[in-house]
Structure 1
Amino acid sequence: MAASGKGNHGGQSMPHVVGTNIIPAVIALPTKADVIAPDGSEVRILAKTDRASMANFRLAAGQVTIGVVHRTVDEVWMVTGGEGSIWRCPDGRPDLGSEDKLVPGVSIPIPVGTHFQFRAAEGTFLDILGVTVPPWPGEDEAIVSDVAPWKPNVAVVP
C-alpha cells in the first residue's frame, strides 16, 4: 500500500512506499533559500535521487558570484528567469575562457574541473534551475577560482 502526505517544507510530500521500493518525495520550489552556496548564490533545494540532485540558484539584481571550480560533479543549468552572464574556463586556463549571456530558456553545461562565475544583470534578478551529477556532496565540493574575471559582491555567510 502506498503512503503519502504533505511535509512542512515547501510543499514537500512524504516518500511513497510501494512494496519494498520508495518513490522519492515531490518537492515544490521553496519561497526562501535553504542555504547560500559557496559561490554566494541563494540555493533552494529541490528533488534528489541517489544519482542526481536539483536546485534553484538565485541572484538579486546586479549580484556577482565568487568564481569557483567543482572537484567531482558536473552541473547542467537552465535559466528560468531574469538575465545575466556566465564566464566558464576549462582547466583554469583564462586564455580558453568565454562569457555567455544568460536569458530564459538557455541551458549551459558546467563539466567537472571548469572554473566559472556568474552574475545577474543590473536591474533584474537571475533564476537558474540546476541539475548536479552525482548529487551535491557538500560545501567542500567547490574551490574558489583564482582566475575568475569579475569582482564578486555577494554576501557570503562565514
Structure 2
Amino acid sequence: MRTTRLETAVLGRSPLGAHIRFLMEGPHGNMIHSTVPPTMVGRACHFRTIDEYWFVLSGAGELWRRSPDGQETTTRLVPGVCVDIPLGTSFQYRCTGSEALVFTCTALPPWPGDDEAVLIDGPWVPSVGTEAGGE
C-alpha cells in the first residue's frame, strides 16, 4: 500500500506539453496530475498501447478527439467532467481560461514511456516546443 501527496510527487513534463506530477504507479495502470497553463495548446497525438481516463479538477479547456472510425468531437473541459481516450483515438487539448487547466489522468496499462505518443497534426497549432517534453 502506498500514499502520495501532490506537493511531494515527482515533477515531469508530458510529451504533449503539460506539466505533470507522478501520483501512483502499479502493475495495471498509473495516475498523474496534469497542469496546462493558460493559453497553452498541447501537441496532438494518438497512443500506441494505452487508454487514458481524465477527471477535470479546475480551470477550463477543450479536448478534441477523433476515433479510429473518423468520428470527431470537441468536449469542453470544466471541473467535474470525466473523459476517456480509448486506444487509437487521436486527441489534442488546450487551456481556454485565465487559470490553468488541471486534471488527473489514469493510464491503463501503465505508461510505457514518451515514445508511446505518436505526434500528429491536430486542429490547433501547439504552443509548446517541438521536442517531446520540451519547452
Query: 1:30 deviation in Å?
Result: 3.2
Contact 2:38 2:101 in 1 (8 A): yes
User: After the TM superposition, which segments of 4 or more aligned residues of structure 1 sit over 3 Å from their partners?
Assistant: 30-33
Contact 2:128 2:134 in 1 (8 A): no
Q: What's the counterpart of residue 129 of structure 1?
A: 104
Counterpart code for 1:98? T
Query: 1:48 deviation in Å?
Result: 1.6
Higher relative contact order (CA 8 A, sep 6+): 2
Partner Cα separation in structure 1 for residue 97 and residue 84 of structure 2: 24
Q: What TM-score comes out, normalization by structure 2 length?
A: 0.90
Count of matched residue positions in the alignment of Structure 1 and Structure 2: 132
Q: What TM-score comes out, normalization by structure 1 length?
A: 0.78
Q: Please point out which of 106, 120, 125 is paired with 2:95.
A: 120
Judging by fraction of residues, say which structure has more strand: 2
1:107 aligns with 2:107: no
Residue 113 of structure 1 aligns to a residue whose secondary structure is coil
Contact 1:35 1:42 in 2 (8 A): yes
Q: Provide the alpha-carbon RMSD of the alignment.
A: 1.8
Q: C-alpha offsets along residues 62-116 of structure 1, whole Å, 9 cap, x if unaligned?
A: 11000011100000100001000100001283xx211010000000010011000
Query: 1:47 deviation in Å?
Result: 1.2
Q: What's the counterpart of residue 3 of structure 2?
A: 26
Which consecutive residues of structure 1, in runs of 5 or more, have no partner in the other structure?
Answer: 1-22
Residue 41 of structure 2 aligns to a residue whose secondary structure is coil
Query: 1:49 deviation in Å?
Result: 1.2
Choose 1 or 2 for highest CA Rg: 1
Contact 2:51 2:86 in 1 (8 A): yes
Q: Please point out which of 14, 24, 27 is paired with 1:37.
A: 14
Query: 1:33 deviation in Å?
Result: 6.6
Partner Cα separation in structure 2 for residue 109 and residue 122 of structure 1: 22
Q: C-alpha offsets along residues 20-61 of structure 1, whole Å, 9 cap, x if unaligned?
A: xxx3x2111136872111111111100121101000111111
